[in-house]
Structure 1
Amino acid sequence: MSKSPGERVPVRSFWWWKRPRSAFLDIGLALLAALECAVSTIAFLSSRMHVSTAGAIAIAVLGTAAGGSLVLRRRWPAVPVLVTLLVMPGMLGVLLLVVALYTLASTWEWPSRRRRVVALSTLAFAEAAAVMAVSLMTGGDSPPVEPPPLWGQILLSLMVAVGLTVAPVVTGLYVGARRRLIESLQDRAHGLETELDLLAEQAQERARRARLEERTRIAREMHDVVAHRVSLMVVHSGALERIVVKDPEKAAQSAKLMGEVGRQALNELREILGVLRMDDARQPEPDSLAGLPRLVDQSRAAGMAVTLTVSGSRQEFTGEAEQTAYRVVQEGLTNAHKHAGGAQVSVLLSYAPNGVRVAVVNACPGGEKGAAQLPSGGNGLVGMRERVIALGGTFSSGPEADGGFRIEAVLPSRLAVRAERLR
C-alpha cells in the first residue's frame, strides 16, 4: 500500500533494539570485543608466565562473557561499564572499554545522572591508568627496547588512560546531547504541524461561517428588494384588474407604473448579484436615506396614503447604516402593502444628537376591503432586527393601541460620518 510523503513508516523492533541493524551492530561489536579480550589477555600473560591450555580456555570464556556484555549496552548502559571495571585488573579490552564508556555517556541524560557518569568514568580512568602503568613497569620476558624512566611510564599511562576513557566520554556526551536536541526539534516540528492543522481547520470553519453569513446577507437583500417591488406590482395588478374596463386610461398608467417597478426590481437584483462578481472598487452604491422620498412616492403611486416627515439637521451616516435604515422603511412599507391596504401610513425620519431614527406607522386597516392579501414568510422583520442590532442600534415592532402597527429602528451616532473623517 502506498504511503503519503509525510506519513511515518513504522519500524519493526527486535527485543530492545528499535531496528535489526542495531542488533547486528551490537552483536558484531560484542564478538570483536570478546576476541580482543581473550587474545590480548593470553598474549599479555604468555609473555610473563606459562599459560596452560585449560587456563587459555578459561581466559577465552571470560573474555567472551566480558565482550558479550556489549549486547546489553542499549538496554542497560551501565552493565558493560561494570563488567569492564570488574575484569580490567586482569583483562584490558580497549574496544570493550571505549564502546562501554561511549554508550554510557551518550544514553544517560545529562545532567540528571551526571554523578553516575562521572563516578564510573573516573573509576574506569583510574583502573586504565593503573593497568597501563603495571604493564609498562613489569614488562615482558625480553623487552625489545629499554623501558622509559618511572616518570615517563606514569605520564604515558595517564595519556593512554585519557585517550581510552576521556575521549569516548566526551564524544558520547556530545552525540547524546545532539541526539536529544534533534528529538526535541522533531517533537516541536510535530507539535507545529498539529497546530497548523488545527489552524487550517479553524480557517476552514471561519470561511464556512463567512460564506454562510454572506449567503444570509444576500438573502436579506433579495428579500428586501423583491418583497417591496413585488408588493407594489401585485397592488397595481389588483387595481388594474378592477379598472381596466371602467377607466382604460388609468389602467394604462397603472400598467406603465408596474413596468417601471418591475424594471427597478430587476436592476436592484442585478446590482445585488453583481456584487458576487465585482471587486470592492466596482461595487454599486447602496440605497441611502436620501432615496426615501422616491421610495415613498412609489408607494403613493401604488395607491397608498403615505406621508414622509423629516426632522432634525441632515447628517450623513456610513453606507451600511444608511442602507439598513432604508431597508427598515422599505420593509415597513412592504408590510403595509400586504396587511394594511387602504390604511394611512406615516414614514418618520428624525436626526438627533444620539443618532438617527426611522419609523413606519400605519393606522388600523379600514379602507378598501378588496386589498390584496400577500403571503408573508415572517423573515423580513427578523432580518431587519438582526441587521440593526449588528450595528449597535435598537429595533422594535408591534401593534399600536389604536389597532395600527409600528416598525421603528434607532441607529447610534457613532455611525455618523464626521467632518474630521472627511478631511
Structure 2
Amino acid sequence: MPRSLPWVAALLTLIGVPAGLAVTGGNLDPALTGAVAVCLALLTLLVGRWPLTVLIVGVLSTVALHTAHLIGSGWAWPSTAAFVALALAGRVRTAIVAGVLTLWYGVVWDSFVEPLPADRVLGQFGGEVLWLAAALATALAYRSTRRWQQEAAARLAQSLHERELDARRRRAEERVGIARDLHDVVSHTLAVVGVHLNVALDIFDEEPAEAREALRLAQEVRGRAMGDLRSLVDVLREGDRIETPAAGLEGLAGLIDRVRSAGVTVTVTELGERDAVPAPVATAVHRVVQESLTNTVRHAPAARATVMLHYTPASVTVEVADDGAGAAPGTEGHGIMGMRERVAALGGALTAGPVPGRGFVVRALIPVAA
C-alpha cells in the first residue's frame, strides 16, 4: 500500500464528509459537521496500518452519531477511505461484508427506528450501494494493476539475472581460452627467442656479425611477445573483457580461399602495416571476417563479397560487405551477437545491417591500445 495513501484518504475525508452531508441533506451545523469531518480524518490516518480496525471504528462512530441524532444521513460513505484501504490490502470480501451489514443496519434504522418516507430510504440506500460499489471496484482495479506491474518487474529482474549468470558462464569459459593464448602465442614466441639467443651464444666468438643479427631478431621477437603479453594481462585485469583464441591475420588467406571455393567472389583490400597488430586484436579481426563470410555463404544468396582491412597505429578497421539480403531488419543471430561481444571486449564497436546500394555490411573498429 502506498505510504501517502493515509494522508490522501484523510484529506478526502476532511473534504468529503461536509460535502456529502450537504448533498444528502444531513446536518449542516458548521461546528458539528467540522468536528465529525476532523475526527473521521484523524482516524483515517491510521488506515495504512490497521485498515479493518479503522473501518470498524469509523462505522461505529457513524452509527453513534445517527443514534445521538447528530447527523441525519450517510451510513457507509463517511468511511469510504477505510473500505478502499481494506480492499487495497487484499481483504475485498471483508470490505463487502462490512458494507452490506452497514447498509442493512442503515435501512432498518431509517425504516423503523427513525421512520422516513420509503422513497427516501430507497434513494439513500441505492445511492450508497452505487457509491460503495464504485469505490471498491476502483480499489480492486488499482490493486490488480499494481500486482501486474510487480509481476512484470519480477519477471524482468529474473530475466536480467539469468542473462548475467549466462554472461558469467561465458566469461569463465573464455578465461580458459586465455590459457591457450598464453601457450600458443607467448610461449611459442619466447621459445623462438631462446633459439636465437642460443645461436648468438654459439657463434659469438667466431662470427660476431651473425651473432649480432641473431640478437637483433631475438630482441624484435621479444618486443612483440611483450606486447602480446601486455594485452593478455590487460584482458585479465578488466575481467569483463575476454578474448578467445583463434587464427590471426596470417590465417585470413586460407579462410578466404575456402570461401571462394564455395562459389563466392571475395575481394580483399588491406591498407597499412599488419605487423604492429597485437595478437588479441588480430584474433578478433580474424573472427569478424570469418563469421561475416560464413554468414554470407550460409544465409545470404550473395555472389560477391568485399573485405577491407585498415591498419593504423591506433586502431584496426574491418569491413565485410556482400551483395546478399542478409538478416531481416530488427533480427540478430548468435553470430552477430558473438562478434559484437568479442569486439566490445577489446574496447571497440561493431555494426551490422543492410546498407542501401551496398548489401549487408559488417563494420568493426577495434582500438589497438585497448
**Range class of TM-score, shorter chain:** 0.3 to 0.5
- TM-score, length basis structure 2: 0.43
Higher Cα Rg: structure 1 or 2? 1
